[in-house]
Structure 1
């Protein structure tokens, strides 16, 4: 790395190697959520051998007056490079560091060059600046671009700062409220949880072979967690490992259950999760002896979650439970960068094992038994075309979840499907209100919200109608039509956001109005050709070995080193975020729950 010195009259960083052999210019700035891409052009100096002045091994770093950090770059041809920076995940799972940064080239064959900018295009720098509000608008990350004037060049600078403001002082209150505020408020409770975890971890220690299956979103083990547990038993590993369980809902239980969970976390070698886990907001996991594996149940990178929503409503803080995952799983290499961005972790920590629950879904004997039993249990459905209406919930958490049933015209739907078709309504389990099926339509319409095996249910479905649900992941394996009814997708995109364009990503016809849904049902125009492309993007393997890969690679750690090498030790100095925890009314709980 070349040395740098400051020109105190201009603030310019001068390199000691002498005149640069080429010019380096930032041409364009492009944002995609929390990812900023800087497009650079390398221009050789004039002369008979000008082209030879540009080395073949160019790399880049961001520098201020004292620090320098390498950044990812890609050569795109014609003397142009692109630099990709994630402002929420730069190093050691922290945000881009505070400071005023220049871009400097690095090469063994040539001296370093500072990137400049075209002085006639300065208005574009203001347009490219961003402000990311979070923590109920009490904190902000600002990213702005400008130039640092000097005699010879206009240096391009990127200014990134994290700013915080204090909340209003609490008003005087009565003794009971004062006691609760002083001793039972969430920040104090979180500090106590961290203290309890720390001392249990030190005094009792991590027990070899102890596996904790845990959820703060469900009362019982299910989905990927259940499949991994069952597969461990099938392989006889339950005799070698010690299984522990913790399942509860947010705000349920008290300090008794919390201390029990903290004890299990502090003493477990492996912690397996399948959703957002709030206690990770309070404790710092002993990563030297324990590992946290997130087996999130959503298969597709469809909606924006986690840090993909940074700066939007319900945005996570810069320190968040997602950061503590040792590993997270996904279904394909294609989705690795999607999940790394969402969780704020390295791409190397996202392992494309496939989803364990798909093992069940593809088990032919299990499917045969299910379909036979289903026909006997539901003779009123057997032999008919089955339409499954399965949307996700609206609202910001488990406590405010709902679905607007006025979007469904039950009268028109009943007439459209005809006597040879039944419609099964399966609402998200967060939605408390039952489907208001009119009594006269109960011969064709059925509420299957609480049907115990929603995954197997897909095998008897001929047409799926959903909106933003991850149910499309498994259903795509059946190569059957699906349709997307999203009357609120403009509002949903504005408040929740999509990781990719909704209309292009949805593997089926997208309908904005219910008459469009009825028309599609009548004509059978579902755009089924989209299903194959979606399946190819989301599945590297279509087999029944996902649970085994999770067990072998992540639980037992019997995997190629390249698949399991994750270095989170790199230190990147940043301005400290307010680490005094602030109650967030469970805004994060719905991040992964959707």
Structure 2
């Protein structure tokens, strides 16, 4: 039954897409996401850069989470119109509208993905994982099909990306996400930190520890105790503990001393003196900022049984990996962190352009594909 419904939807989408292709076209790039209902920094940077360098082009950003199948179905109709009447489409996650029309879309489709660096298995390498998609769902939805190009932050893990997306390596193009520019720019880091300290005065006067746990589909059995242990280990007279939760996670500390009520638009990494994470690619963003990173793997045995990783956090990441919150605080208090080794780890996973910015490299690639597409028509 499910297969029939999806095939019917596919036929309907193709019919509407073909119809929309006869409407007037625009010099436009459309950016689609299911990560959030608000535009990401990556899309905003692309839009601003295009407006400066290619003012004849518009960038339309379409960000919507799949919280309701009914409302998302109407959103897919809007996506169809924009895809049919634009010059290129850029994605930062899996978009059903694109994959269901794989082989029929007439413009370049660039999968930018949303994560810097390499960590968890995803896509076709995670089908057997409890937190991955099932094989049947991936097949029915044509998952990750129809891409013209896939961006990667370093070719050092190109094999992992090719397997995850189920694509040929020739489609992969080395270009870190545009937001990398914000993370490596010392002036921007300073401006953002000062802005956050002014907006949230409680951050000033203490060292700031930002805790960035990865998203888990199922709450770990020991999470409540682990988070309580972390809060108990912090000397709040000397440190602030700030929770930077995943956008899809509404889990919060049951402790009023932990700072967790602030605007979603504020990236608390810029206020961080130290970062605690686990299996999240935020460890690369923290490394680009220059903050010491420590890994709190309190549920490693349970998590690793449900989700496979491309790298071993204990062996491959040059920092403390432990389930002991007090050990992490001891390392923070004693500055027990090898900054040079961590910087080398970041450099292996994030290849910065020799010239220009990451945003420029991404946008130049988009327009190269647009020009190539025109020549083949």
Name the TM-score class by shorter chain: 0.7 to 0.9
Aligned mates of 1:506, 1:361 — CA distance in 2: 20
Secondary structure (helix, strand or coil) at the match of 2:201 reads: coil
1:323 maps onto 2:141 in alignment: no
Check conservation: 1:201, 1:267, Cα contact below 8 A.
Answer: no
1:446 maps onto 2:265 in alignment: no
Secondary structure (helix, strand or coil) at the match of 2:251 reads: coil
How big is each residue's C-alpha offset from its partner over 1:295-353, in whole Å with a ceiling of 9 and x where there is no partner?
11211111111122243333453643213221111111213222112111111111111
Secondary structure (helix, strand or coil) at the match of 1:227 reads: helix
The alpha carbon displacement at 1:529 in A equals 4.5
Larger Rg: 1
Question: Bigger relative contact order, structure 1 or 2, given CA contacts below 8 A and separation 6+?
Answer: 2
Secondary structure (helix, strand or coil) at the match of 1:422 reads: strand
RMSD of aligned C-alpha atoms?
A: 2.9
How big is each residue's C-alpha offset from its partner over 1:246-292, in whole Å with a ceiling of 9 and x where there is no partner?
322214305433322223233333111111223334333425x2121
Distance 1:477 1:403, change over 3 A: farther
The alpha carbon displacement at 1:402 in A equals 11
Bigger drift between 220-229 and 313-322 goes to: 313-322
Distance 1:555 1:196, change over 3 A: farther
Check conservation: 1:417, 1:521, Cα contact below 8 A.
Answer: no
2:323 equivalent in structure 1? 512
1:535 equivalent in structure 2? 346
The alpha carbon displacement at 1:231 in A equals 1.3
Check conservation: 1:211, 1:269, Cα contact below 8 A.
Answer: yes
2:311 equivalent in structure 1? 500
The alpha carbon displacement at 1:467 in A equals 0.4
Check conservation: 1:194, 1:283, Cα contact below 8 A.
Answer: yes
2:128 equivalent in structure 1? 311
Bigger drift between 514-523 and 474-483 goes to: 514-523
2:113 equivalent in structure 1? 296
Distance 1:458 1:219, change over 3 A: same
Secondary structure (helix, strand or coil) at the match of 1:409 reads: helix
How big is each residue's C-alpha offset from its partner over 1:168-211, in whole Å with a ceiling of 9 and x where there is no partner?
xxxxxxxxxxxxxxxxx754443343223322343342736332
1:546 equivalent in structure 2? 358
Q: What TM-score do you get using the length of structure 2 for normalisation?
A: 0.85
Secondary structure (helix, strand or coil) at the match of 1:324 reads: coil
1:270 equivalent in structure 2? 88
Distance 1:409 1:520, change over 3 A: farther
Check conservation: 2:17, 2:80, Cα contact below 8 A.
Answer: no
Bigger drift between 477-486 and 541-550 goes to: 541-550
1:62 equivalent in structure 2? none
Q: Which runs of 5+ in 1 are unaligned?
A: 1-184, 565-594
Check conservation: 2:43, 2:61, Cα contact below 8 A.
Answer: no
Work out which of the residue numbers 456, 459, 470 in structure 1 matches 2:281: 470
1:436 equivalent in structure 2? 254
1:344 equivalent in structure 2? 166
Aligned mates of 1:526, 1:535 — CA distance in 2: 14
The alpha carbon displacement at 1:447 in A equals 1.0
2:369 equivalent in structure 1? 557
1:209 equivalent in structure 2? 27
Distance 1:189 1:449, change over 3 A: farther
How big is each residue's C-alpha offset from its partner over 1:106-160, in whole Å with a ceiling of 9 and x where there is no partner?
xxxxxxxxxxxxxxxxxxxxxxxxxxxxxxxxxxxxxxxxxxxxxxxxxxxxxxx
Secondary structure (helix, strand or coil) at the match of 2:145 reads: helix
2:225 equivalent in structure 1? 406
Q: Which runs of 5+ in 2 are unaligned?
A: none
1:191 equivalent in structure 2? 7
The alpha carbon displacement at 1:468 in A equals 0.9
1:139 equivalent in structure 2? none
2:271 equivalent in structure 1? 460
- Equivalent positions of 1:212-223 (< 5 A) are 212-223=30-41
1:23 equivalent in structure 2? none
Check conservation: 2:88, 2:370, Cα contact below 8 A.
Answer: no
How big is each residue's C-alpha offset from its partner over 1:438-490, in whole Å with a ceiling of 9 and x where there is no partner?
4xxx3xx3115644132xx3232111000011111121123331100011112
Q: What TM-score do you get using the length of structure 1 for normalisation?
A: 0.56
2:56 equivalent in structure 1? 240
Distance 1:374 1:204, change over 3 A: closer
